[in-house]
Structure 1
């Protein structure tokens, strides 16, 4: 397999995989290669730097990725804890009330059971889990 950096006539850049160079040429000639952004079939190969293997092991790369993910999760969680109102086990009720216009909108976070979360999603209430950074255990919160 070969990965090509591609660019359409509208300067949208994207990547695609082909079994070989001839496969790209054949699919392009048959207008089967399209820009995922605008659908244009006028696509050309873009300049691409070759992938060079270094002495870095896959294990080191994975460790670096895990560390980066953990740091991002920590930042998200810290941002929420510092800027959102903690509503504890009343999260589902508060989120539903805001969604229905019964309470003023504000950023909140708190606790909810899986069933409560499913019900909120079914009702169209926007919710998302708060990430727990890798290696940490959830800490119980107290309402102020």
Structure 2
């Protein structure tokens, strides 16, 4: 796994994301699957990052502080936990107002977009290819930030 600092072109928002490899990032970027979590812009690029260089193996006990980019203070672990908890709470508040459509998400979203079904708030599952197709056709959809257990899989 590799973590990249990313930023969007629209709002110049900075965020980080994990990828299986550099090639995985490039593939997802080319398919428009990476969006800014603040503004939704899909014109996302790697931001300038300072490398984290480990200490020599013969210098046990020597601790090298991480290098932080200028003007980019690192949030405290408590702040990060609070932000994730706030995101999870907001998502949990919104989901009961939305209808679970399972694996039919792409079809249901397309039907509403084309006027074949009444507009409704929905959530469900879509493959990366289905998500890309919705995006390419101008159909608004975005991933949930906190994973959920599908109703049929819940105990």
Tell me, in whole angstroms, the C-alpha distance in 1 between the residues paired with 2:90 and 2:139. Answer: 21
Q: Of 92, 101, 112, which aligns to 1:78?
A: 92
Once the two structures are superposed, residues 43-93 of structure 1 have per-residue CA deviations (whole angstroms, 9 ceiling, x without a partner) of: xxxxxxxxxxxxxxx88x521221122112212320232110000000000
Greater Rg over alpha carbons, structure = 1
Tell me, in whole angstroms, the C-alpha distance in 2 between the residues paired with 1:107 and 1:79. Answer: 13
Unaligned segments of structure 2, at least 5 residues: 1-72
Residue 134 of structure 2 is aligned to residue 129 of structure 1? no
TM-score (norm 2): 0.47
Residue 116 of structure 2 is aligned to residue 102 of structure 1? yes
Residue 87 of structure 2 is aligned to residue 87 of structure 1? no
**How far 1:102 sits from its partner (Å)?**
0.5
Runs ≥4 residues deviating over 3 A: none
Comparing both structures, which one devotes a greater share of its residues to helix? 1
**How far 1:138 sits from its partner (Å)?**
4.1
Tell me, in whole angstroms, the C-alpha distance in 2 between the residues paired with 1:103 and 1:66. Answer: 40
**How far 1:141 sits from its partner (Å)?**
2.6
TM-score (norm 1): 0.51
- Determine if contact 2:102/2:150 at 8 Å carries over to the other structure: no
Q: 2:50 maps to which residue?
A: none
- Say which SS state the counterpart of residue 86 (structure 1) adopts: strand
Q: 2:61 maps to which residue?
A: none
**How far 1:114 sits from its partner (Å)?**
0.5
Q: 2:30 maps to which residue?
A: none
- Determine if contact 1:76/1:131 at 8 Å carries over to the other structure: no
